[in-house]
Amino acid sequence: MKIKWFSLIRILGLVTVLGYHFFVKAFPGGFIGVDIFFVFSGYLITSLFFIELEKSGGFTLWTYYKRRFMRIFPPLVIMISTTLPFTLLLPSDFRANLAKQVAAAIGFVTNRFEIQSGLSYEAQQTPQLYIHTWTLSLEFLFYLIWGALLFVLVLWLKKQGLTGKKLLSQTRFIVFVFAILASVASIIYLEVTFDPKYLSYSYFAFASHAYPFFIGAMVATVVGVRISEKQQAHFASYPIKKMLLWSGIPILILLLLSLFGKFESSWTIRTNLILTSVLTAILIVQFRILHERTTRPEPKILTILADTSYSIYLFHWPVWLIISHFVPQVLLAGILSFLISFVASAFVYYGIEPYFHGKKPAKWLLSKPFYAGLGVVVLVGFGVMLTAPALSKTERSLHEAAIGEAMVSLDHKGQLSQNLYDIGNNINANTSWGNPAAGFDTSTDMRLKQSTSLSENILDSSQTVLGDSVMVGVVPYLSMILPDADVEAQVGLNLDSILDLFEKQVKAGTLGKYVVISAGANVTNDMTADVQKIIDSAPKGTRLVFVTPYDGKNKAVLNEFSTYLKSLPAKYPWVAIADWATYIEPQDNRLWADKIHFAGKQDVAVDYLNLLAQSLNQVAKSRPKS
């Protein structure tokens, strides 16, 4: 039974997700569309279960599993097979670890793959081609668990002698109660395990993100696809103004969440997504009423978009990564990505998928040219996976930089660490950092190129350096200008965590008189507030140097933040700015493919060090904080 206007729910979920991925500046909270899909999925699956139970008086688990698998797996494999060859158009960093990405996608475990990466959803050094398939991991797990539970429930009730309407009503009641309990349990688990520094677990884990499915299932027990004659009569006379009001308000709130939500905000994970699920449940009820309230058929374009929405979701992300790499205009890239994804999805849904559902395939699907082309695509895809690097250049350079950072730290600890330091040197000799034969400069050569030296006043004082992954790449050479600095630099740090480190050192009395802070590429929603807290909590005698962050793929937000940083010296003479963003922007082709990092590129590191040294010398001429 086709419910008119349910297409609007699918389209709303699709539009918000596409808006988030294509135009993240305009729709920073658009990822809520995923939860819209989850609620609708739980509703639809449970509604279909009740229809089968009412018709046949039972529930066939194998048929259910087969139907679910054939719905989601073939389009997934087709998407991966057809997009893999086109990844050759992208820099090699995008293909790093590609075989594991593909295995995780078709094995429906991308969510675990992302949790184990240890990064938040938005903290990827280089966007992964199939990261969006994490949603299928949760859906597939829900299908498995829910189907088994429903099967056992029906089997148990039938053994109690229940049949017909009694079986249906009792099953509906138990499912309703269980769905409520499961939703509450999932939300409680989310709140108890929530860690603002590890958002990826709360977002990707099934246990903490299962509640949308069960909220949808709960709605299905009350207002399913098939309803009673009494409900039909009630809905047919339901005031249209009231229905429009209860549809318009949730849609408005969902759009506001898409426009103003932030992934890194604790409120998003702990409240906004729960609110999204509840609002979607309300929309399902209202559009189910609208189906009974109107006789006008749904516009064909809505039906087509809803039918292809799953495949559009599958195709849009890898297509966007490829298109946006060659088309710098965001709006044009977004439009092209949607059109290509839509055409590919229509081709899959109307041309190929019917074959997997037992329908007579189109003639071209059985033709030799089609099979020949399919074979070429699959072979090229396998070749791409087999030749993909295990690590991206960015990741490899950061690993090597981390080794160098550890060596610097050990060297500062004195003779007790000499043995470990010697081991580190041996390791370092086999990396690009210390191997002249690999075509890179040695540390000595680099020291000669580093032209700006620091004043004795700075060197005779104490220094603290706090930074993120960009600073990690500089640390092995930082000793050339700050040989005695206390350095805290880690991959993934943002200004929130930098503030924590800063305040701890202030409290412990270990903060240096000269402090360098290099962070901001990992964007948060309160960076200016963090900087102000750093300035306010800095003890007397402190001089601060902030480095403007640069991300070639996120210029709008960071340009605004850099403008704020550059306004600080006028207000605080003991603050200086090393304007790395302005310096590197016209030559960001010297950075790695992510347009942020340069670890392992000594010529870029030299420029960074010179800029840092100039800013330190500048702030040294001013009076410290008084």
pLDDT given at position 412: 52
Which residue did the predictor score with more confidence, 292 or 275?
275
Instruction: Please report where in the chains the tokens 């103003």 appear, as a residue.
Output: 260
Residue 441 scores a pLDDT above 50: no
* Residues 551 and 519 sit within 8 Å (Cβ to Cβ): no
Reply yes or no on whether the pLDDT at 601 is more than 60. Answer: yes
What is the enclosing helix (H) or strand (E) of 597? none
Average pLDDT, stretch 501-513?
92
Helix residue ranges, H only, 353-392: 353-356, 368-387
Confidence of residue 5 (pLDDT cuts 50, 70, 90): confident
Name, in order, each residue with C-beta under 8 angstroms of 368's C-beta and a sequence gap of 6 or more.
none
pLDDT at 72 over 50: yes
**Across residues 433-449, what is the average pLDDT?**
47
pLDDT the model gives residue 133: 93
**Close Cβ partners of 406 (under 8 Å, ≥ 6 residues apart):** 424
Q: What does the mean pLDDT of the chain come to?
A: 85
pLDDT at 339 over 90: yes
Q: What share of the chain is helix, strand, coil (3-state, %, to 5)?
A: 70, 5, 30
- Residue 605: name the closest of 386, 440, 375 by CA: 440
| 162-176 exposure pattern, b = at least 16 Cβ within 10 A, e = fewer | beeeebbeebbebbb
463, β-bridge pairs: 514
Task: Please state the φ and ψ torsions of residue 489, each to the nearest 5 degrees.
Answer: -135, 130
pLDDT at 451 over 80: no
Distance of CA 144 to CAs 10, 44, 68, 317, 382, Å? 22, 15, 9, 26, 29
pLDDT for position 436: 44
Average pLDDT rounded to a whole number, residues 372-397: 73
Instruction: Give the model's pLDDT for residue 149.
Output: 96
- Which range among 64-68, 393-397, 615-619 shows the weakest confidence by mean pLDDT? 393-397
With a cut of 70, say whether residue 28 has pLDDT above it.
yes
For residues 370 and 428, what is the distance between their CA atoms, to the nearest angstrom? Answer: 51
Q: Residue 4: pLDDT band by 50, 70, 90 thresholds?
A: confident
Reference 139, options 218, 204, 53; nearest CA is: 204
Q: Give the whole-angstrom CA distance, residue 94 versus residue 115.
A: 19
CA distance 415 to 418: 5
360 vs 256 pLDDT, higher one: 256
Does residue 277 carry a pLDDT above 50?
yes
If residue 545 lies in a helix (H) or strand (E), which one and from where to where?
strand 543-547
* Whole-number Å distance between alpha carbons of 578 and 562: 10
Predicted confidence band of residue 367 (pLDDT cuts 50, 70, 90): confident
Other beta carbons within 10 angstroms of residue 490's beta carbon come to: 16
Rounded Cα–Cα distance for residues 333 and 324 (Å)? 5
The pLDDT score that the predictor gives to residue 227 is: 86
What's the whole-number mean pLDDT along residues 80-88?
A: 91
Q: For the ranges 41-50, 133-142, 285-294, 401-410, which has the lowest average pLDDT?
A: 401-410
- For residue 566, give Cα distances in angstroms to 563, 579, 597: 5, 8, 22
Between CA 305 and CA 301 the distance in angstroms is 6
pLDDT confidence bin for 117, thresholds 50/70/90: low
Query: What is the per-residue pLDDT for 395?
Result: 55
Which residue ranges make up each domain of the chain?
A: 6-387, 396-426+444-621
Residue 225 has pLDDT above 80, yes or no: yes
Q: Average pLDDT of 508-512? A: 92
Pair 576, 615: CB distance under 8 Å = yes
Q: What band does 434 get if pLDDT is binned at 50, 70 and 90? A: very low
Nearest in space to 11 (alpha carbons), one of 319, 251, 221, 324: 251
Is pLDDT at 429 greater than 80 in this prediction? no
Work out the end-to-end distance of the chain between its first and last CA atoms, rounded to an integer number of angstroms. 75
Do 29 and 262 form a contact (C-beta atoms < 8 A)?
yes
Q: What percent of the chain has pLDDT over 90?
A: 50
Higher pLDDT, 11 or 267: 11
Is pLDDT at 340 greater than 60 in this prediction?
yes
Taking phi first (over 0 means left), then psi (-120 to 50 degrees means alpha), and beta for anything else, what does residue 102 get?
alpha
pLDDT value of residue 332: 94
- pTM confidence score: 0.72
- pLDDT at 442 (0 to 100): 47
Tokens encoding 244: 């429009």
Residue 567 has what pLDDT? 94
The CATH code of domain 396-426+444-621 reads 3.40.50.1110
At residue 516, does pLDDT exceed 80?
yes
H helix or E strand, kind and range, residue 271: none
Q: If you ran DSSP here, which 8-state letter would residue 509 be given?
A: T
pLDDT, tens only, 394-425:
555 555 555 555 555 555 555 445 555 554 55
pLDDT at res. 318: 94
Q: Report pLDDT digits (tens) over 471-490.
A: 887 877 787 788 888 888 87
The structure tokens listed for 137 are 């991991």
Q: For 2-14, what is the mean pLDDT?
A: 91
Give the pLDDT band of residue 231 (cuts 50, 70, 90). confident
H or E element at residue 576: strand 575-578
Neighbours of 4 (CB within 10 A): 20
Q: Average pLDDT of 300-313? A: 94
User: What average pLDDT does this structure show over 494-515?
Assistant: 91
- Of 37-51, 244-258, 435-449, least confident by mean pLDDT is 435-449
The mean pLDDT value for 184-198 works out to 89
Name the DSSP letter for residue 436: G
User: Can you name the residues that pair with 547 across neighbouring β-strands?
Assistant: 518, 578
